[in-house]
Amino acid sequence: MSHLANRNILLGVTGGIAAYKSADLVRRLQDAGANVRVAMTHGATQFVAPLTFQALSGNPVHTELLDPGAEAGMGHIELAKWADLLLIAPASADFMAQLAHGMGANLLATVCLATTAPIAIAPAMNQAMWSNAATQANKEVLINRGIHQFGPGAGSQACGDIGEGRMLEATELVALCSPLFAKKTLSGKHLVITAGPTREALDPIRYISNNSSGKMGFALAQQARLAGAEVTLIAGPVQLDTPWGCKRIDVTSADDMFEAAILNAKKADIFIATAAVADYKALEIADQKIKKSTNELTLSLTKNPDIVAAVGNSKHRPFTVGFAAETQDVISYAQDKLKKKNLDMIVANDVSRSDIGFNSDKNAVTLISADQQITLDIDSKMNIAQKIIALIASRLAL
């Protein structure tokens, strides 16, 4: 049964073209068993008619703060008390500013002030508005206040721009809401996770790296935090926002990541190595830019430290999970790594496929342990992450 079953979700819709996605979100929340009511700002009603949400939710739509009829029935205070979760999707830059500064100029903002329920926002705006310093400052205020942030995603936008600012899809938002009501299966646990690529310098300009986006690791960090864990995220060079409630340590090279991982794993209950760490680094890094003086260039490389093997074989080892990103013989290579690196579990995925893996928002994996093998079919990385965290929690409970 869904964790959203019989939960009261108040969906706040603010002004923006992404408001059309909120209609599908109502249905998806209802499919998960939630009771849904909708509150809209005046800006939102310019994009989608309130009647649309009334027809989908089966409930009157709330738009006015000072509505005598509404106040006689379910007024803004009663609406705030009714909600088990207030989900604002889309959350415009303007509304994020209102929320950050405690303004109550409209119904939705007032409900946010009056509710004791968790609040989650799904930002949606032009990429320049999202990257603006004021919006980023408001984002940090909201996160520090305990408001959950879901997204935004990146991609093409209605205005023609490309970048961060897209509202997450309805199915992704439902997947993120569900753990808010789940039993905190990792409460009291400290999880350390590595994510993204590493960069191994050749000279002051060039480096060796790979195509890892870090999305899988960041999704796992978010789901672990939602499951109640204290999360330390050790991130290579990626362009991703820090998941809500997670402590982030930024690193560049494999040596940097090794040092941070070993230090933090000593006090961890769970260690997950999703990072695509470069296997080799330059034996010597040139002090100046290497000039193109010949048709051929010979590089001398040396092995990088094996981070997950070092943690897996440490004296006071945490529950250790590795990742095997392979292009062939995926399962057999993963099983070999499981044994050689002394892991409790390994997650294998085929990165040769263009529809999953590196830089994709989807994945398909096989979880392998000494006595079990579970395949998770293609799904969003957030959904895959939720299932992986649940399986880790179940193993710890044995």
Catalytic residues: 159
Alpha helix positions (H), 73-189? 76-82, 93-100, 107-114, 127-131, 133-144, 170-177
**Taking the C-alpha atoms of 309, 311, 315 and 321 in order, what is their torsion angle to the nearest 10 degrees?**
-90
Spatial separation of the C-alpha atoms in residues 233 and 21, rounded to whole Å: 31
Tokens of 150: 């879901």
Q: Which helix (H) or strand (E) holds 372?
A: strand 372-380
Rounded CA gap, 59 and 50, in Å?
11
Contact in structure between 258 and 216 (CB atoms under 8 Å): no
Give 138-151 as a 3 state SS string. HHHHHHHCCCEECC
Cis, bond preceding 204 (omega within 30 deg of 0)? no
Strand partners, 362: 380
Helices (H), the chain: 19-31, 42-45, 50-57, 68-72, 76-82, 93-100, 107-114, 127-131, 133-144, 170-177, 215-226, 254-265, 307-312, 330-340, 381-397
Query: Are residues 255 and 244 in contact, defined by beta-carbon separation less than 8 angstroms?
Result: no
Q: Which residue, among 126, 135, 122, has the nearest Cα to 94 in the 3D structure?
A: 135
- Phi first, then psi, for residue 314 (nearest 5°) are -75, 160
**Is-contact 273 323, C-beta < 8 A?**
yes
Rounded to an integer, what distance in angstroms lies between the CA atom of residue 172 and that of residue 150? Answer: 9
What residues have CB less than 8 Å from 112, skipping those under 6 apart?
Answer: 12, 86, 88, 99, 119
Q: Which two tokens stand for residue 12?
A: 């706040």
Coil, helix or strand at residue 324: strand
